Amino acid sequence: MWESICLTLMATAGNNIGKVLQKKGTVILPRLSFKLKVIRAYVLNKLWIIGFLMDICGAVLMLRALSQAPVSVIQPVSGCGLAILCVFSHFYLKEVMNALDWVGIALAGAGTIGVGIGGDKQNGSTVSLFHLPLLGISVALLFALLNTWLRIYKSRRQEQELMHSEVIEEIIYGLESGILFGMASVISKMGFMFSEEGFSKIMVPICISISICCSASGFVYQTQGLKHGRAIVVSTCAAVASIITGVLAGMFALGEHMPSSPVARVALSLGWIFITLGVILLVSSARLMALLPRPLRRHLRRSNLENHTLRRSGSLRIKDPSPSAVIHASTLHHLITSPSKEKA
């Protein structure tokens, strides 16, 4: 179990950091096209190619982890990718992190340990062929309900000639993308379980192909939400929905049961809760900091500024980072999920 959790952490680190490196690499690159000159420029860009390879390796490691462990363990742990990305931005991109960012990282780390302890005692699972159609119908009905709700609010906004989307629209886009991301992991895991239970080996590539389609669709929904709404709402709803979908679908359709040991059961439950709270804090830390009492907020900002100044002065003796390399921690999740805005 711990091997699978480590693989998941490596996979989600590769995915998240790889996307940031690709995004940074495209700053000096033309818009991606199938022209030989453009493709050559991308291939020769070290930063972009390193990010691309990290992203691909992360996807392969994630499939490996899903083949070894329950999706109710893998999917929550994959939510720690944002915590890893924040640590990467702090030490490599020289970015300042506030106190809530560190609390979120600590919660995600503690949650990962809890999931590892509880998941290690989790009972074996088998695909429930009876529950699979019910799962598909439930997801379809949920999407129909969410899309109907979305159309109602869109039509209301158009009637009132409002330019900005309402918070309900942002939540719906986030929920839809998160559900699709969670289902992508569930479907991939399903393919491996079918293979283990004696079904044709062709089920693995079929399920992985469907999983890729789910992930691509989730990216489209998330991009729509980020384009018309606030990243903090869309990203938070997507991350939480992805975790909850992976856990519930894994237990309902894949027969993944809670551990029989009370201690392991509590550890697993607390792990899920801590990771979810950690992700929420990391995505919304900047907004939450603004809600703190002014004296406390001023003290925390002063401490962050002093730490940043000391760390910058030490790093300047070695190498002064490029201004374009600095990415604010509160915008990292928006950066890796937003559509490209490269120069034409």
Q: pLDDT by residue (tens digit) across 138-158?
A: 889 998 998 888 888 778 777
Task: Tell me the C-alpha distance between 153 and 149, whole Å.
Answer: 7
Instruction: Answer yes or no: is pLDDT of 337 > 50.
Output: no
Task: Tell me the C-alpha distance between 20 and 58, whole Å.
Answer: 13
Instruction: Answer yes or no: is pLDDT of 335 > 60.
Output: no
Task: Tell me the C-alpha distance between 123 and 254, whole Å.
Answer: 12
Instruction: Answer yes or no: is pLDDT of 58 > 80.
Output: yes
Q: pLDDT by residue (tens digit) across 121-138?
A: 666 667 767 778 888 888
Helical pair 99-119 and 262-291, crossing angle rounded to 10 deg: 170
Within 8 A by CB and 6+ apart from 171, the residues are: 233, 237
Task: Tell me the C-alpha distance between 321 and 324, whole Å.
Answer: 8
What percent of the chain clears pLDDT 90, i.e. is strictly above it?
3
At 320, the pLDDT band (50, 70, 90 cuts) reads: very low
Q: pLDDT by residue (tens digit) across 218-258?
A: 888 887 887 767 766 777 788 888 888 888 888 888 877 78
* Entry pTM: 0.72
Every domain of the chain and the residues it spans:
1-290
Quickly count helices (H) and strands (E) in the chain: 13, 0
Task: Tell me the C-alpha distance between 247 and 182, whole Å.
Answer: 8
Contact yes or no for 236/284 (Cβ under 8 A): yes
Determine the residue type at 82: L
Helical pair 46-68 and 167-196, crossing angle rounded to 10 deg: 60
